[in-house]
Amino acid sequence: MKEAALKLEGIGKRYHRRTSLRGMLTELAGLAEGSDAFWALRGVNLSVARGECLGIVGHNGAGKSTLLKILSRITPPTTGRYRLAGRLGSLIEVGAGFHPELTGRENVYLAGAIHGMPRRELEGKFDAIVDFSGLREFMDMPVKRYSSGMFVRLGFSVSVHTQPDVLLVDEVLAVGDRPFQMRCYQRFRELLKSGCAVVLVSHNLAIISRQCDRVVLFEQGRMTAQGNPGEVLDAYRAQEPERHAAEADATHEHLRIEGLEVLDENGESLKAADTGQPVNVRIIYCAKEPVRNAVFNIVVWDKDGLQVTGFRYDVPGGQSANLPRGLGSINLQIEALNLLPGTYDISARVLDGLSHAVLCSREYIGAVQIRGAQLIHGSCYLPHRWGTIRAGEDR
């Protein structure tokens, strides 16, 4: 059994909805807890092994953020204790500690010091941090002039180069463009391989499912399940199906996406396909009242939760649809599904053709498995043919 990098014993956190002198004196005297007290966390016993990625899920208010604040030493626990073996890295408040008047270069050294990195170590990693962020030409600019994306990328880059023994991550995996996201996932894999323990909190269940070795479910401040990602996530979804549907959807007053089907050329349901196979994707919707200027959108995600491709009903023709009241569907014909082998998730959305706002959506409503031997890395397959080698030709 691997050594525990992080161990929690009886962790609890109590807050007060309001503060009164009588309540404070009562608690200090040990006579009562106080009528305005509530527990954000209670009785949390948990350990995370070196090289393990632990996922934490739960509805808003379940206690996830409170736990991360305790582990990050932002707030102390009311009860219990925890042991951390080594250096802590935190991707909760990315960019926290940056001074707006200082340059990117100066803030790298400031943030490194806050993370506990000796200056000599930081100097040795400075170029790697800058290259990872992709902001080399902006390092001598005050960060107050950075865009929000640039600001987060620099903070993220410093944090993942502190060589932590435990890394806390809270909903920051979507930062930056696709190349930067790929570097982030690669860095996480390197940290895990080196023995770093990762605690990942996210509402993106696809990322939790694919990145985590084990998942813990929190409900009203208590751990209610832990174990295999698939089993725990199924228990999470089964708790309150209607609540998950509401959280997964951007809901329109009169429009809802009811389902999504992946079909073969004969209209038969398809769970697995070959690279390059033609497929149909059908969105089923229900309109309680007529909806004008609707634009359908399908997004395909890879195993890391990154977008591979997308299809919009108004591209390239620029058209939108007026939907009559009742149940309906629309088909997308993909002439060749040129994805490399693996599992891909599918999301469906309906946008307003004028404002481009999302009217309703169902995230990760469908999936397709692509079969075959994956001979190269990447996400897509481009049909091709090699020519004959001709040696000894003069130019």
Check which CATH number belongs to the domain holding 336 and give it.
Answer: 2.70.50.60
Is residue 89 domain-shared with residue 197, that is, in the same domain?
yes
Separation CA 168–CA 89 (nearest Å): 6
What distance in Å separates the CA atoms of residue 34 and residue 25, rounded to the nearest whole number? 10
CB 189 within 8 A of CB 29: no
- Regarding whether 114 and 262 lie in a shared domain, the answer is no
Q: Is the residue at 389 inside a domain?
A: no
Number of domains in the chain: 2
Q: Do 74 and 205 fall into the same domain? A: yes
Query: Which strands make up the sheet holding 255-263, listed edge to edge?
Result: 255-263, 279-287, 326-334
Residues 315 and 182 in one domain: no
126 and 238 both lie in a single domain: yes
Whether residue 391 lies inside any domain: the answer is: no
Same-domain status, 98 and 224: yes
In a shared domain, residues 195 and 259:
no
Asked if residue 44 belongs to a domain, the reply is yes
Instruction: Answer whether residue 210 is part of any domain.
Output: yes
Same-domain status, 291 and 352:
yes
Torsion of CA 281, 286, 290, 291, to 10 degrees: -50
Whether residues 147 and 30 share a domain: the answer is yes
Q: Examine the fold and report which residue of 219, 242, 265 is the final residue of a domain before the chain moves on.
A: 242
Between CA 51 and CA 196 the distance in angstroms is: 5
- Residue 24 has what pLDDT? 57
Q: Determine the residue type at 361.
A: S
Residue 140 lies in a domain: yes
**Alpha carbon distances (Å) from 233 to 239, 271, 336:** 10, 21, 32
CATH code at 183?
A: 3.40.50.300
Same domain, 46 and 186: yes
Mean pLDDT by 10 residues, the chain (395 residues): 88 76 56 67 94 91 89 90 87 70 92 84 92 92 85 84 87 62 80 92 79 92 91 78 49 84 90 90 93 91 77 74 93 91 88 82 84 69 84 67
Domain that holds residue 338: 255-371
Whether 219 and 259 map to the same domain: the answer is no
In a domain, 67, yes or no: yes
Q: Which residues neighbour 391 within 8 Å (Cβ) at sequence distance 6 or greater?
A: none
End-to-end CA distance of the chain: 63
Residue 230 in domain = yes
The answer as to whether 393 is a domain residue is no
